[in-house]
Amino acid sequence: MARSVLITLCECKGEHLSASQRCLRRMHDTTNLAKHLLLLFFLCGWGQAEGASPKEESIHFGRDIQPILANRCYKCHGPDAAERQAELRLDNFAMESAASIVPGDAGQSPLYQRIIETDPDFRMPPATEGPPLTKQEQQQIARWIDSGAARDAHWAFVPPQQQIPPQVDDPSWPKSDIDAFVLSRLEREGLAPAPEANRRALIRRLSFDLRGLPPSIKEVEAFVHNPDPDAYSKLVETMLESPHYGERMAQNWLDLARYADTTGYASDVPRPMWLYRDWVIRSFNDNLPFDQFAILQLAGDMLPESESDDLIATGFHRCSMQALGNNPRKEEFRVKGIVDRVNTTARVFLGLTMGCAECHDHKFDPITQKEYYGMFAIFNNVPHYGENFEVRGPRIEATSPLAETRRAQIDHALSVLRQHAPPVNSALRAKRQAAWEHDMMRLYEKESSGHSELVAEWPMVDKNQHRVLDTPALRISGDFTIAAKVQTTDDVADIFCKYDSERGERGYVFGIGGEGEANAVRGHLYGWISGERDRFDGIQIYGSVPVNDGKLHEVALVFRSGDGVDLYVDGRRDMHARRAGLPPDRVAASECDLLIGEGYGLKPEKNKFSLEGTLTNVRLYRAALPWAARSGLIPSQIYSILQTPRSMREPQQQEEVKKFFAEIDRDHLPEPLRNRMEELEQERASLDRTYQAQVMQEMDTPRATHVMLRGNYLDQGEQVEPGVPDCLPPSDQPLDRLEFARWLFRPEHPLTARVAVNRIWQHYFGTGLVETADDFGRQGAWPSHPALLDYLAIAFQESGWNLKAMHRLIVNSAAYRQSAQVGEAAYTRDPANRLLARGPRGRLPAEQIRDNALAVGGLLSPKFGGPSVYPPQPTGILEEKGQLQYHPVWITSHGEDRYRRGLYVYWKRMNLYPSLATFGATTRERCTVKRPISNTPLQALVLLNDPVFVEAARALGRRIVEDAGPDPHARIEYAHLRCMGRPPTADEHSRYKRFVRDQIEKFSADPEQAAKWIDREPSQVGDGSAASRAAWTLLAATLLNLDETISKP
Amino acid sequence: MTIFPSSTELLSRRIFLSRSGLGLGTAALGSLLATDSTSYAAEQINPQIQFIPQAKRVIYLFMSGGPSHIDLFDPKPLLTARDGEPIPERLIRNHQFAMIKTEAPLLKGSPYNFARHGESGHSISRLLPHTARVADELAVIRSLHTDTFNHDPAVMMMNTGDARFGRPAMGAWLSYGLGSENKDLPAFVVLASGVNTNQPLLQAYWGNGFLPSHHQGVQFRNQGDPVLYAKNPPGIDRRTRRAMLDQIAAANREQLAIIGDPEIGTRIKQYEMAYRMQMSVPELTDLGQEPAHIHNEYGTHPGQVSFANNCLLARRLVERGVRFVQLYHKGWDSHTKLEADHERQCQETDQPIAALLTDLRRRGLLDDTLVIWGGEFGRTPVAQGTGNAYGRDHHPHGFTMWMAGAGVRRGTVYGSTDAFGYFAEDHPVHVHDLHATVLHLLGIDHRRLTFRLRGRDFRLTDVHGDVIRPILA
């Protein structure tokens, strides 16, 4: 069955290549076939069809017969004219093909005679096409012919019909119309639904399905003890309103949209796409109606007065892979991109696998190659610029679609944090203010002897480049600070360079864009500080904020030897700067000259990375001076007040300075709080920034589209006009991308609504009502509940394509609320739960496995949207495959970005983040409608040993010890609740108690192991608390590995 | 009747095979990653193992980048004689080169002497003195040809039978069709070595395509853990890990009893396998256990990243019943400085390959292990660039591969290219034919190892492939 893997790919290569070859080989067969059809028609006796049992259901052509014919016969006797043999056409029994069947009499029907033929030379399908039809298939065909051989149109091409919920024997069970359909089917099968799941299971199921996160203990207990009979439906509403709803829904959609952060193919270079990802999240949260959601993504650029968000939406079709490099066949890869757009559109919105028709008429569905290129023509008019590594489509610069939401979230978070700030001691603050003013004055006193730590200052008034001959004073070995004012649009430019790698004189360098190295971000600050001259051994830092926007910025680098390095922009510490390597204890004493405003190139006399624009006030201090880097925070009026000596200031001026200082003074705050506030402030400031987005754009003059013979872009056939396949309703407008998008939502369209609701169903129940969620064609599965599918499709349309309404409808049903605890026999009877006699249970998707562990450990960052992140992964993952030349190395994110949801992990197509890949996340090279589900030992290894999961276990261990009190009983209960949302049973209690006790004993005997396990220096844990903490951490790790923890209940 | 044949005919591969009474017993199918899970319901496999398998496992030495057939295995005196002359126009009419842009590229003879070796008299260039020693083991196919001349499509073609991304690699097909003989190790293992060039190795080369994900190749890494996350975290020893696993198993068993979902049972087994793997992988990859004479023979140095180490590791893997071991050695893409590049590549690979064949033979493993050598294509008989820095461009129209071991006729040469080494001329062998032959040697009719997807039965050989019978023993 096709249930498992619906990864997209082009299906049919080879069919066409072999066509001529096979034609020759089969010529003989074909002639014989025609002859024998006739011969058999006259001569043959009755077939051996056994009469169908009268009790059995009647035969349905579309459901029972067509799949057999489609699978076994259409290849040669189907819609593909080029492959058709003996002019026999069994997809529509046109013309003489009708003679292959004698309605009411299988025995007289040549078709039947041929399939039951025992002589392999005459039997159909021929041996080259596989084994004969099974007995059951033969009998089905016999029954169908005997009962009159009625044919109906393929169900999915007929518009959904209004459905009245059926009568059921047990009217007490249904909670919604959905349930009537489900129960009626169960009753027909002689089955009963499972009882409703308990509330702990329900809230957990809902929370994972709607938010992709576990419920908190508080939420669980509140729900469990809520006496309100409507508690469940109210909970549904709360979850639908959560911003995490959008994140969870986006996760599915991004699989369809093949969203990734790299271009794919061998080059696989970064391509900023995340604004589109954030648009998707916002649209789900705003409950944008599905028709608008789709139209914007397919053709947002063509809407009248389209705004930047509408353009960002069109990123949907800019996610296609793009080959880059010195490949001579740029056009070929452009064509591949269009093919991907056509196939993805068909799969996502029409539920059709059109890929076959790229090269030849579709073998199974009534889609001709010409019709395929009609669709192709619709998507063929997007400009394609550049050569080699610069090949690209249209782009814009825009702010994030989530900026507003995020700003509100940050403001809220900051106000909460401020409430947690300890009270200010005003005397201490006054002291700090005095010290600060003193420092500031010294900083700005140009005429004075300057700050004692100041090595030198270069005003750089009328030039941007300056060479300073090397002196011992410039060979700084310990802490230092470089500060400057810069205004430029350069992507790559050095500011302060005592670093010449070509000639083995490495020391320190500070600038923009990392001399163009793959790891660096163009337009962002960077710094390299090496402890060795002849090779790099030190720390690299890469900023997260662009400084090349042509505005004036105060920038600084602060290095603390053996400790760390920070970047500052306009007085703000870059909380998201990424670092690689370790800060050296001693900076190498590079003997090259100091270059200001440029850096060293290959030849000593030819400097590179020259800064254009203005560079002034360049200073070097031999100390780590954050305040030197922070002067940019001071507004001009404060600055001018500070110029006035204290004694000469007006009281009101004095007050102004005091007020300003109170705003920036953080020294009284505990460091974590301070860091968190700075993080949030930096993020808030970044929300106004624009980022690159890949968008669609329609060329003024459309390209001419030709049929590409056998899918070869060089081999052009007849010219075709934009169009949709004839089997679907016609468009009354001339088709372009926008009209096509609107056509999808015509009320009589048979596919769009069905395909969409089916995927929603799949989200909850694991399998859609149509098992082949991306194939509603003749090869696809027949729906398990055809009437329910139509009911939902019509309800969806009538709701105004309201997505949340559909989610609400489904999760409020009794079908969804059933328990999954039904015993092995039930699972064996219906492994995929197609009859819906139990609740939907299953392992969480890859991203949720990660999110859940981080959430349970209390590490998960609530940050919403933004650039993709680089959580820790084993070193060398990219390097060992040689993926370095065009690729940034994986520089692990800093701060909260280490703990973001899986959704935000940098999606590198050719080397997907290992733990996500292990749990079945797809590389998104192409549209994925359903992920394969696997269950492997490598997954066990991730949960047991991946440092990310170990860190989560340690965090949970710490929480158990710190938050649950000293009582082991309470600790076990707390841990269990956090992981599984339910208290442990008495058995579990005693088992875990014993386990922890044994482990404490073991770790006590080996305190060094205990310290290692909880990541402490042995000296830090001399008091014996290590053993206890280690044992509880081990329990935490154990619980995080349980099937129950990683499953939706 | 039912409308869900898929749900009711849950014919797992295991059941099918035990019913069909075929040669391979259930033990052979107890692949590490292949305990029955519901995802297995997806696998409508019908492998129809029709032949007595000659080979039980495969070592595939993948020379990534494309080695030059005319400098290694396919001597072309005419090319040497006409060195420096333009290539006849008829050969390159309508042909595109990957990199060469000149209208009339010049023929370039091989600078390396060829001599005949062994009883079979195989012609082998002086670049491969060690391979020459084991010449009689080889069945050399000189008439390979493929469809595409860029690296990644050509590697995909060679591995998956299709130049496009998305199909399962041969190793994944074999894992799917045959499983593993070792329940502590994956059925399909990948090892990588060689210089970093601008042709990265992509996971897709050993991907599962549309097959269930546990059939994908598992790369044993050269640094850090050989298998990702196989090492316990700091502070956790094997005893502690066991205690933890016992707790996990107890809790999961209770869940299984309450819920009944067989997936939970699978998970219990997978944790046990993970535990065994944690034990077996370090032992397996510890080359220090090998005696000195073996290290001398292979040229191995434990701890180093080298093709030699990977060859020795490959032997240890097949010894333990891993079905398909694929070694990638990067660095063959000699567009310039062909001589320097190829001399380095041969120096790195020649001795270990000969040692591997000798060692396998000595241990009796070559009787049921198939060894394959080759790149994604060959290199042009014309020079790219001039002077000493000349190289050769990608060449898909005719090139050499060899096979050795189980079921292969030793000492054979099959097929030939034309006098210039340009086109496969005599008995052309397409990649599909090669695949058909490999499957045949493993006892599988390539037309019957299928996976149904969107109404089509997909197979490694698409709709092509003829077994190359003359090279079978």
Please give the full DSSP string across A939-961, using - where no structure is assigned. Answer: HHHHHHH-HHHHHHHHHHHHHHH
> Residue A448 pLDDT > 60, yes or no?
no
**Quick check: A995 contacting B, CB < 8 Å?**
yes
**Do A625 and A507 have their domain in common?**
yes
- pLDDT score for A844: 97
Say which DSSP state A575 is in. Answer: T
Residue A442 has a pLDDT of 67
How many angstroms separate the most distant Cα atoms in chain B?
80
Cross-chain Cβ contact A1002/B271 below 8 Å: no
| pLDDT for residue A19 | 36
- Tell me if A429 is assigned to some domain: yes
Tell me which of A438 and A1032 has the higher pLDDT.
A1032
Q: Does A1010 touch chain B (CB under 8 A)?
A: yes
Question: What percent of chain A is predicted at pLDDT more than 70?
Answer: 90
Nearest to B255 among A13, A268, A1044 (CB): A1044
Please report where in the chains the tokens 């009609």 appear, as a residue: A374
Question: pLDDT tens across A230-282, in order?
Answer: 999 999 999 999 999 999 999 999 999 999 999 988 788 889 999 999 999 99
Q: Please give the pLDDT value at position A438.
A: 78
Q: What is the 3-state secondary structure (H, E, C) of chain B?
A: CCCCHHHHCCCCHHHHHHHHCCCCCHHHHCCCCCCCCHHHHHCCCCCCCCCCCCCCEEEEEEEECCCCHHHHCCCCHHHHHCCCCECCHHHHCCCCCCCCCCCCCEECCCCCCEEEECCCCEEEECCCHHHHHCHHHEEEEEEEECCCCCHHHHHHHHHHCCCCCCCCCHHHHHHHHHCCCCCCCCCEEEEEEECCCCCCCCHHHHCCCCCCHHHCCEECCCCCCCCCCCCCCCCCCHHHHHHHHHHHHHHHHHHHHHHCCHHHHHHHHHHHHHHHHHHHHHHHHCHHHCCHHHHHHHCCCCCCCCHHHHHHHHHHHHHCCCCEEEEEEECCCCCCCHHHHHHHHHHHHHHHHHHHHHHHHHCCHHHCEEEEEECCCEEEEEEECCHHHCEEEEECCCEEEEEEECCECCCEEECEECCCCCCEEECCEEHHHHHHHHHHHCCCCCCCCEEEECCEEEECCCCCCCCCHHHEC
Contacts of A279 (CB under 8 A, 6+ apart): A309, A312, A313, A315, A401
- Cβ of A715 under 8 Å from any chain B Cβ? no
Number of domains forming the structure of chain A: 5
Answer whether A942 touches B (CB < 8 Å).
yes
The answer to whether the CB atoms of B164 and A9 lie below 8 A apart is yes
pLDDT tens across A471-499, in order? Answer: 988 999 999 999 999 999 999 999 999 99
pLDDT higher than threshold 80 for residue B293? yes
pLDDT for the residue numbered B376: 97
**pLDDT for res A809:** 97
Total beta-carbon pairs less than 8 A apart between chain A and chain B: 298
Q: Which of residues 799-828 of A touch B (CB under 8 A)?
A: 820-828
Quote the distance between the C-alpha of residue A547 and its chain's center: 29
Q: What is the pLDDT of residues A498-547, one digit of tens each?
A: 999 989 999 999 999 999 887 788 899 999 999 999 999 999 999 988 99
Residue A861 lies in a domain: no
Domain for residue A769, yes or no?
A: no
Residue of A128, A944, A1016 for testing the chain B interface, max B β-carbons within 10 Å: A944
Question: Which pairing describes strands B57-64 and B369-374: parallel, antiparallel, or unpaired?
Answer: parallel
Q: Does A390 touch chain B (CB under 8 A)?
A: no
**Structure token digits, residue B142:** 């000189």
If you average pLDDT over every residue of chain A, what do you get? Answer: 87
**Do residue A620 and residue A638 come from a single domain?**
no
State mean pLDDT over B171-193: 88
| 3-class DSSP assignment, residue A717 | strand
Domain membership flag for residue A849: no
A509's tokens: 């360098």
Cβ–Cβ under 8 Å, residues A547 and A568: no
pLDDT of residue B41: 28
In A731-882 the beta strands, taken as DSSP E runs, fall at 842-843
Is the predicted pLDDT of residue B67 greater than 70, yes or no?
Answer: yes
**Paired residues of A980 in beta bridges:** none
Question: Are residues A589 and A713 both part of a single domain?
Answer: no
Looking at chain B, which residue has its C-alpha nearest residue A336? B164
Q: Could you report the per-residue pLDDT of A575-619, keeping only the tens digit for each?
A: 889 888 899 999 999 999 999 999 998 887 788 999 999 999 898
Output the pLDDT for position A709: 81
- Confidence at residue A51, expressed as pLDDT on a 0 to 100 scale: 30
User: Does residue A795 lie within any of the structural domains?
Assistant: no
- B40, pLDDT greater than 60: no
More confident residue, A732 or B397: B397
DSSP letter at A483?
E
Instruction: Give domain status of residue A578, yes or no.
Output: yes
Residue type at A974 in one-letter notation? Y
What ipTM does this complex have?
0.82
Instruction: Using CB atoms, pick whichever of A63, A364, A940 lies closest to residue B274.
Output: A940
**C-beta separation of B449 from B383 below 8 A:** no
Do both A610 and A484 map to the same domain?
yes
CB contact under 8 A, B233 and A941: no
Residues A557-570, mean pLDDT to the nearest whole number = 93
Residue A341 falls inside a structural domain: yes
Q: Do A700 and A606 belong to one domain?
A: no
Of residues B464 and A291, the one with the higher pLDDT is A291
How high is the pLDDT of residue A1042?
98
Are the C-beta atoms of A471 and A592 separated by less than 8 Å? no
**A528/A592 same-domain check:** yes
Residue A33 pLDDT greater than 70, yes or no:
no
Residue A131: predicted pLDDT: 78
Does residue A656 share a domain with residue A714?
Answer: no
What's the pLDDT score for residue A14?
36
CB contact under 8 A, B211 and A5: yes
Q: What is the pLDDT of residue B345?
A: 97
Residue A938: closest C-alpha in chain B: B274
Q: Do A22 and B277 touch (CB under 8 A)?
A: no
Helix or strand or coil: residue A845?
coil
Same domain, A344 and A438: no
B247/A1038 Cβ within 8 A: yes
**In the Cβ-directed half-sphere of B63, how many Cα atoms lie within 13 Å?**
28
Whether residues A708 and A601 fall in one domain: no
Structural domain of residue A1011, as residue ranges? 947-1048
Residue B119's pLDDT is: 93
Q: Which residues, in sequence order, are bridge partners of residue B124?
A: B115
| C-alpha to C-alpha distances, A758 to A273, A375, A785, nearest whole angstrom | 28, 24, 11
Asked if A364's CB is within 8 angstroms of B33's CB, the reply is no
By 3-state DSSP, what share of chain A in percent is helix, strand and coil, each rounded to 5?
Answer: 45, 10, 45
Q: Which candidate from B38, B231, B330 shows the least CB-CB separation from A945?
A: B231
- B236 contacts on A by Cβ (under 8 Å): 1009, 1013, 1034
| Mean pLDDT, residues A960-975 taken together | 95
A88/chain B closest Cα distance in angstroms: 20
Alpha-carbon gap, residue A182 to A837, rounded angstroms? 8
With tokens 């059941």, the residue in question is B15
Q: How far apart are CA A894 and CA B10, in angstroms?
A: 48
What is the pLDDT, as a whole number, of residue B108? 94
Chain B hits for A358, CB-CB cut-off 8 Å, are: none
Interchain CB distance below 8 Å, B197 and A882: yes
B6 CA to chain A: closest CA distance, Å?
Answer: 5
Residue with tokens 């850090």: B224
Give residue A885's pLDDT.
57
- Give the per-residue pLDDT at A27: 36
Q: What is the pLDDT of residues B126-141, one digit of tens each?
A: 999 999 999 999 999 9
Q: How far apart are CA A768 and CA A660, in angstroms?
A: 60
List chain B residues with CB under 8 Å of A933: 38-39
pLDDT higher than threshold 80 for residue A793: yes
Tokens standing for residue B400: 């050499």
Q: Is the pLDDT of residue A963 over 90?
A: yes
Q: Hey, is A703 helix, strand or coil?
A: coil
Residue with the larger pLDDT of the pair A451 and B12: A451
User: Which residue, among A206, A289, A253, A293, has the nearest Cα to A764 in the 3D structure?
Assistant: A206
CA atoms A44, A50, A55, A59: torsion sign: negative
- Chain A interface, best mutation among B32, B33, B165, B448, by max A CB count within 10 A: B165
Residues A38 and A50 in one domain: yes
Q: Is the peptide bond before A125 cis (omega within 30 degrees of 0)?
A: yes
Q: How far is CA A323 from CA A286, A327, A332, A337, B471, in A?
A: 35, 8, 10, 9, 39
Chain A: nearest CA to B113, how far in angstroms? 33
- Pick A914's closest partner by Cβ from B4, B198, B228: B228
Question: Which DSSP string do the residues of A367-416 spell out, in sequence order?
Answer: --HHHHHHHHHHH-----B-SGGG-B--EEEE--TTHHHHHHHHHHHHHH
Residue A800 has pLDDT above 90, yes or no: yes
Q: In this structure, is residue A968 part of a structural domain?
A: yes
Q: Assess whether pLDDT exceeds 50 at residue A45.
A: no
CA neighbor of B153 nearest in space, from A1037, A321, A663 = A321
Shortest CA distance from B247: residue in chain A: A1038
Least confident of A398-412, A867-881, A974-988, B106-120: A867-881
Range of weakest confidence among A716-730, B84-98, B262-276: B84-98
Residues A494 and A619 in one domain: yes
For chain A, positions 314-353, list CB contacts with chain B under 8 A: 326-328, 353
CB proximity A23 to B under 8 Å: no
pLDDT of A49: 29
pLDDT tens sequence across A312-365 = 999 999 999 998 876 657 888 899 899 999 999 999 999 998 877 777 777 667
- Interface probe for A, chosen from B40, B151, B240, B280 (most Cβ of A below 10 Å), is B240
pLDDT tens readout for residues A809-854? 999 999 999 999 999 888 888 888 999 999 999 999 999 999 999 9
Residue of A nearest to B9 (CA): A1
The pLDDT-based confidence of B332 (bands split at 50, 70, 90) is very high
What mean pLDDT comes out for the span B18-26?
A: 30
- pLDDT(A11) > 50: no
Query: Which CATH number does the domain B22-229+295-471 belong to among 3.30.70.870, 3.40.720.10, 3.30.300.160, 3.40.50.300?
Result: 3.40.720.10
Tell me whether residues A57 and B457 touch, CB distance under 8 A: no
Question: Do A430 and A465 lie in a common domain?
Answer: no
Count of Cβ atoms closer than 10 Å to residue B413 Cβ: 20
Higher pLDDT residue, A1013 or B38? Answer: A1013
